[in-house]
Structure 1
Amino acid sequence: MRDLVTALRVTGELRTDLTDEEMADVIWSMNGPEYCALLVHERGWSGERFGAWLADAWARALVAG
């Protein structure tokens, strides 16, 4: 996840109030199969809905502004 954050940092669009370590932790914590299993298999979300939600959650958590 640190490599992903490093690659994203060069865009200049990530928040500056979080360290790369903190951002990697956010991505890592939400990247486990538990989220998918819980929302798709247990709660009936479609895979597309889950993917859109995850992208939105990461954008809100990591992107500046």
Structure 2
Amino acid sequence: MNKVVTAVRAGLVAVGRRVRSARKDAGMATAEYAMGLVAAVAFAVVLYKVVTSGTVSEELQNIVKRALDAQV
């Protein structure tokens, strides 16, 4: 029985260490959010360039014109 108690205690200590080490890493969330924001802005810029290009812009205008001219 003593070995079981020792094993359980060792497991709880290991979990406690993991929790404490995770708290030390709390600052990483800010860096991850910053990288996500940079990636989102880069994607938005690429999307803006594609949508405002001549061919895509013309096609979007045609789609809107057809939708507005549709018979109901």
Q: TM-score, normalised by structure 2?
A: 0.28
**Which structure has the highest helix share of the two?**
2
Q: Which has the larger radius of gyration?
A: 2
